[in-house]
Amino acid sequence: MTTAELTRSLSLRFGRIDRVWIVIALLFGALALLAPPQMPTSARFTINALINIAPFLAVSVAVAAFARASGLDHQIGRAFSGNAPRAIMLAAAFGALSPFCSCGVVPIIAGLLGAGVPLAPVMAFWLASPLMDPEMFILMLPVMGVEFTVAKMLAAFGIGAVAGFATHVMIKGGAFSDALRPQLTKGCGSGCGGSSALRTEKIVWSFWSEPERRSAFAGEARTTGLFLLKWLTLAFLLESLMVAYVPADKIATYLGGGEWWTIPAAILVGVPTYLNGYAAIPLVGGLMDLGMMPAAGLAFMIAGGITSIPASMAVFALVRGGVFAWYLALGLLGSLATAYGFALYLAISA
């Protein structure tokens, strides 16, 4: 085999490897060369994070596969394609109250987008979901207090609803006509979802009795499972590096003043340093005890929750760049408005 043929063969082999796995391998390679002690630490962190989230992801993948095989995704798509204001409000409320994390909801969101659910209610759900869930609400109450916790819950609903209506207006104006990444639009017809034999007027609960539906279930579970595995592996690997090298607690300590720039600074700090909603509770609670401005703490938690690595990658993996930028802009503007509103409320009620 000549050098040119060998090069071409290797190029074809590497071309079949997903770019996300290549990035993961390069990151581990860089750690092995530049920071050898950190490589096993990051590997353990990533593996443990995947193990901890595995049960929730398994349920999410199963739900997405069931929705695909039974025709539930098309029924939901039809329901959300009706009254836009009602769909957006319901999506924002469900996002603020649902127990799904930003990663676990990815396969469900992917199925809904692929089934033709409008982007506006999906955006409302997507922005509200990472900000609050029942477990987080319960954990925040004793640490942050009732006012702060309720403010964050209302912020989740409000940001989701406003984002949904803003997206609806943008779509009416002709924006985001091609929102999904190519891998989600392959095989889609006018309504998406593959074979028209899977589209029914009612949900087929016993889908396993039909070979085509069994095949659809297995294919959806495999595709979605691998899709999530690669992106979550990268997200948790990057998170391990943030834990090791970004001094979030020391940076945020300087946000205790009442200057005009405190809230914007808290947002700028929260974007790169935020890890997850549960880890942020004791961190921000402790900083508030040390004098951090409550509105700045709220800004840190909201902006960080929306732009955290897992939440951002969940959006980036599914939609095109313009929609991703719109998601980030809505989240950052929403966190800014919410924090200033909370500061005004505290000033009036003092």
252 neighbors 266 (Cβ within 8 angstroms): yes
SS3 276: coil
The H or E element that residue 318 is part of is: none
Instruction: Identify whether the C-beta of residue 256 lies closer than 8 Å to the C-beta of residue 287.
Output: yes
Per the CB < 8 A criterion, the answer to whether 138 and 144 are in contact is no
Q: Which residues pair with 180 in a beta bridge?
A: 319
First to last CA, the chain: 80
C-alpha to C-alpha distance for 39 and 51, rounded to whole angstroms? 18
340 pLDDT more than 90: yes
Q: Return the ∠ at Cα 45 (arms to 300 and 277), rounded to 5°.
A: 25
140-196: per-residue pLDDT in tens? Answer: 888 888 999 999 999 999 999 999 999 999 999 989 888 777 765 554 443 344 444
* Structural contact between residues 123 and 135, judged by C-beta atoms closer than 8 angstroms: no
Q: What are the residues whose beta carbons fall under 8 Å from the beta carbon of 204, sequence distance 6 or more?
A: 69, 70, 71, 210, 213
pLDDT (tens digit per residue) in 186-233 = 544 433 444 445 555 577 878 888 888 889 889 888 887 887 788 778
For residue 268, count CB atoms less than 10 angstroms from its CB and return exposed for 0-12, middle for 13-18, buried for 19 or more.
middle
Structure tokens at 153: 């819950």
Q: Are 299 and 259 in contact (CB under 8 A)?
A: no
- Residue 80 confidence (pLDDT): 63
The phi and psi torsions of 319 (rounded to 5 degrees) equal: -120, 165
| Strand (E) or helix (H) holding 140 | helix 134-144
Mean pLDDT over 250-265 rounds to: 70
Q: Is the pLDDT of residue 118 over 90?
A: no
Q: What is the DSSP letter of 257?
A: S
Per the CB < 8 A criterion, the answer to whether 157 and 92 are in contact is yes
List C-alpha distances in Å: 103 to 54, 168, 224, 229, 312.
11, 24, 12, 10, 10
For residue 134, the model assigns a pLDDT of: 79
- The closest of 261, 191, 260, 183 to 224, measured between CA atoms, is 183
- Nearest by Cα to 298 from 82, 122, 127, 153: 153
Please give the C-alpha separations between residue 124 and each of 37, 49, 88, 105, 156, in angstroms, as whole numbers.
42, 27, 6, 13, 9
Q: Which residues pair with 350 in a beta bridge?
A: none
Residue 25 scores a pLDDT above 90: yes
CA distances to 142, 146, 174, 184, 275 from 138, rounded to whole Å, are 8, 10, 42, 36, 19
Phi and psi dihedrals of 176, rounded to 5?
55, 40
Q: What is the largest CA-CA distance in the chain?
A: 80
Give the pLDDT band of residue 326 (cuts 50, 70, 90).
Answer: very high
Q: DSSP string spanning 183-229?
A: HHHTT--SS-SS-GGG--SS--TTGGGSHHHHHHHHHHHHHHHHHHH
pLDDT more than 70, % of the chain: 76
